[in-house]
Each structure stands twice: as C-alpha cells, then as structure tokens.
C-alpha cells in the first residue's frame, strides 16, 4: 500500500501498519509518496491499496474502487492560493501559479473556482512556498501543513478555494481517498476497509501512541502544527464517508465532467 508522509495519513495508518490492531493474515508493506506521485503511480496500477486525490480517483474508476474509510474530507480544510505580493483574484489570468499536481483535487478546485487561471506549473507541494518567496512563480496553491505556516514567511492569502467550494455547493471538500484495485477479492477489500476503520478508532482513542511515527515523517516538526493538521483532516468522514460523504463525492465527480453513466453502482466499495 502507499500513502503520503503527511500527519493525517500517518496518524490514520499507524496502528494498522505497526500491528497495534489485529490485521492477520495481512501484513502491509508501505511506500510513502507525495500526493501527485501517488496519483501517477495509481495510473500505472502500481499499488494494491493507495491514497488518491479524489480528482485522480474520478479518472481511475475502471482500475480502482474507493473505500468508505480513510478519506480526507471536511469543512474548512481546502487548499489556499497564496502570494508574496498583493495580488487579487482579478490578477489570476496574468500570473504564474505553482500547483501540487495536475491530477490533484487542489488543481481541480483552482480550475473550478478560477477557470481563467491557466498559467500553472507543477511542483512538489513542499517546494511551493519557497518558489513563491524566491520569485520563481507569482503565486502558489498550498496544501497539507503549509496551510498553517505560510503567514510566518510573509506570504498572504489570495483565496481559500475550499471556502468558495463550500459556499457554492454546500458540501464539504473531498480532498483524498483510499482506493483498492478492482481485481482484489471482495472479502479482502472488506478486511482492508475494516482494518483502516479500526486503525482510525485506535488513533483517536490513543492519540499519543502515534506521535513518534507521525513526527518522523512530517515535514513540519512543530507539535502544535502537527496536531492542528490532524484535527483538520481526520474526522468522522475519515472513519466512514456516510451518506453526506458519498453525495459529496458524487457531486464532485459530476463537476469534473465525468458522465453519470460512468458512476457505476460499484464506484465505491461498500463493505
């Protein structure tokens, strides 16, 4: 399996990959990749179980099914468009913007909210702030821990894309999911989904237990930032999407232009 080294993912999967819950007869071998690297790897059918941007998942429904546990989905947790200079949204059609990947939900939201923002360049998400500061780009689309630190570097917010999505749709922001290969037997998918759910429950019950693992992989080492990151991205929708989560994803997939007929009954694996 593969997921990001970000605190929300390592918090979720700590108990599962370190045998703090019952996972027999499975033993999970983990790879840590940046969000866009995960999206590309999935396109190449590389991992049995993988974290995916929801936008990337919408393009890979023939290969993968979405699990009901493990998602990053909620309110007030969307990507931010930031800059060093005092740009406004009217400037977006004429400035260069760094994005964390073409197939990320962040870029989908940028195009959904500001279709005139066409001059974009892909970068590793953790390099975007420095690229803006160094003048390599005019603005940047930031995700993950950077949401909590950009203002400390003299950067300012142009727009909160998640906030705009919420205002336009009334839905939470569907950022990332856990997906499994379609050819895995249903019994095994059911077990994987159960392990993720139990791992999340363990993490919520014993939050101190995962701290060393989370901190080992996080790009931001400040305890308060890590805790804020986890609190923002791991919630009731992570444990189980429920009806609201499923309707949110369906709505987003329609907004991507995906034909409704492509949303087969089994686009999500219901255990």
Bridge partner residues of 22 (DSSP): none
| DSSP code for 180 | E
Contacts of 222 (CB under 8 A, 6+ apart): none
Say how far apart CA 49 and CA 46 lie, in whole Å: 9
Residues recognised as catalytic: 144
HEC per residue, the chain: CEECCCHHHHHHHHHHHCCCCCCCCCCCCCEECCHHHHHHHHHCCCCCEEEEEHHHHHCCCCCEEEECCCCEEECCCCCEEEECCCCCHHHHHHCCEEECCCCCHHHHHHHHHCCCCCCEEECCHHHHHHHHHCCCCCEEEECHHHHHCHHHHCCEEEEEHHHHHHHHHCCCEEEEEEEEECCCCHHHHHHHHHHHHHHHHHHHHCHHHHHHHHHHHCCCCCHHHHHHHHHHHCCHHHHCCHHHHHHHHHHHHHHCCCCHHHCCCCCEECC
């Amino acid at each position: 399996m593969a997921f990001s080294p970000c605190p929300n993912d390592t918090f979720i999967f700590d108990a599962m990959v370190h045998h703090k819950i019952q996972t027999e007869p499975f033993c999970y071998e983990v790879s840590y990749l940046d969000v866009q690297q995960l999206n590309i790897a999935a396109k190449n059918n590389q991992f049995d179980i993988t974290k995916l941007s929801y936008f990337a998942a919408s393009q890979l429904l023939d290969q993968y099914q979405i699990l009901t546990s493990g998602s990053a989905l909620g309110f007030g947790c969307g990507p931010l468009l930031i800059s060093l200079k005092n740009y406004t949204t009217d400037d977006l059609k004429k400035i260069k913007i760094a994005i964390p990947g073409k197939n990320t939900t962040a870029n989908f939201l940028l195009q959904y909210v500001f279709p005139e923002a066409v001059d974009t360049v892909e970068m590793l998400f953790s390099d975007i702030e420095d690229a803006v500061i160094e003048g390599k780009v005019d603005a940047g689309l930031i995700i993950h821990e950077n949401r909590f630190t950009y203002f400390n570097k003299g950067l300012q917010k142009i727009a909160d894309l998640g906030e705009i999505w919420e205002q336009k749709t009334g839905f939470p922001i569907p950022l990332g999911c856990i997906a499994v290969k379609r050819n895995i037997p249903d019994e095994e998918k059911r077990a994987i989904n159960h392990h993720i759910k139990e791992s999340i429950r363990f993490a919520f019950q014993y939050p101190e237990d995962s701290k060393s693992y989370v901190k080992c992989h996080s790009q931001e080492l400040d305890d308060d930032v890590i805790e804020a990151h986890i609190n923002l991205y791991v919630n009731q929708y992570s444990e189980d999407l429920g009806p609201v989560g499923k309707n949110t994803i369906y709505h987003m997939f329609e907004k991507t232009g995906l034909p409704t007929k492509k949303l087969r009954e089994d686009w999500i694996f219901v255990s």
